[in-house]
Amino acid sequence: MQHLKVIAFDADDTLWVNEPYFRETEDKFCALLEDFMPLHTAQKALFQMEMKNLKLYGYGVKGFMLSMIESALEISNHQAKPLVYEKILAFGKELLEKPIELLPGVEEVLEKLQPHYRIVVATKGDLLDQERKLKKSGLEKYFHHIEIMSDKQVADYEKLIRHLDIQPSEFMMIGNSLKSDVLPVLEMGGHAVHVPFHTIWEHERIDHQVEHKNFIQVEHANELLSVLIKP
């Protein structure tokens, strides 16, 4: 890793809390539709709708809101009252207005890494929402570049490193998702660090272990300092 020039951080559930808020909203949505469908079945129906709509709406709160509305129409067979849709819109707006809760040790890590590397954000999601969260987080000052990506496939990372004018071997990605933050970067020839988060979206799960010479896992962000800053 002595050739590293750029370290990229995922944002949601790597820099700050995100997924638990979505799961809370999902629970409220399923409870709202309980007269039409059992909670667990409604949860599956919403997830299937999200997967169906990903290519249309992308990732983020607004796409989630639209999927909730479309799911409510299907689950209720168009019988739900207008108040149900008003509540769904309110759920979405609550998500957009959630406070930013930084994960432990994150700011210290960024502060100490900044003199040694170019630090960037590479995250999926809605442009306006991610920009808002980054501004509210107080972390903007640490980043050389902000990349809000529509997806995190190999081609998306290759586009990013071309923009940064570096080789894959000079790039490291740090994030909570093995599927999005680790596997594509390793395939590209970069380095990746997995920092697990206690809640993960079903879409981001993988069913196998990752073993690669350019991959490491740490339990907490502050462990990165001993890995990336040599005495």
Give ranges for CATH 3.40.50.1000 in the chain: 6-16+100-228
Of 62, 42, 67, give the one whose Cα is nearest residue 52: 67
Q: What is the pLDDT of residues 171-225, one digit of tens each?
A: 999 999 999 999 999 999 999 999 998 888 787 888 778 888 999 999 888 899 9
| Fold annotation for 6-16+100-228 | Rossmann fold (3.40.50)
pLDDT tens-digit profile of 49-89? 999 999 999 889 999 999 999 999 999 999 999 999 999 99
Is the overall model pTM greater than 0.85, yes or no?
Answer: yes
Range 19-96: architecture per CATH: Orthogonal Bundle (1.10)
Closest CA to 229 of 139, 107, 115: 115
CATH 1.10.150.240 domain position(s) in the chain: 19-96
